[in-house]
Amino acid sequence: MRQEGTHIDFYASEAACRLAASPKAQRLTRFALSHWWRPVGSGVMPKKEVGFLVNYLFDGQKGREILERIDRRVDRLPGQRDLHLLQRAVANLAATSRRRDRFVSSIP
C-alpha cells in the first residue's frame, strides 16, 4: 500500500505540474474526464455486478466520505475544480442499477 501511495502521489504531482503549465491541457483534460472517464471495469462488467460493487464500496456515510475525499483530490488539480467526477459516476451507476434492483440508497 505504501508503494501504491507513492505512485499516486507521483502521478498527482505530475498532473498538477503539467496542467498548471497549460490552460489548453486543463480544458482538454476536463472535457475528457467529463465525457469519457468511467470507473475501471464499469464498461465491461455486467450492470448488476457494478451495482453490487458500488453499493459495497460506497454505501452509507463512510462511502460518501471516501467519494468526497477522492473527488477533492481530482478537483484540486488545475482546471478541474468542481468536477465531482467519482460522485457523479457512482450516482449514475447506482441510478442505472436501481432500475433493475435496488443497490445504493445513500448516493444522492
92-107 pLDDT, tens digit per residue, is 887 766 655 454 444 5
Instruction: From residue 57, give the alpha-carbon distance in Å to each of 20, 62, 104, 105.
Output: 32, 9, 10, 13
Contact 50, 41 (CB under 8 A): yes
How far apart CA 105 and CA 108 sit, in angstroms, is 8
Grid coordinates given for 43: 464498461
Domain ranges, ordered by start, for the chain: 2-98
Alpha-carbon torsion 81, 76, 68, 34, what sign?
Answer: positive
Higher-pLDDT residue of 78 and 5 is: 78
Contact 54, 97 (CB under 8 A): yes
How far apart CA 66 and CA 96 sit, in angstroms, is 21
Per residue in 31-86, pLDDT (tens digit) is 999 999 988 888 898 888 888 888 888 888 999 999 999 999 999 999 999 999 99
Q: Is the pLDDT at 15 greater than 70, yes or no? A: yes
| pLDDT, position 74 | 95
Higher-pLDDT residue of 29 and 91 is: 29
Residues, the chain: 108
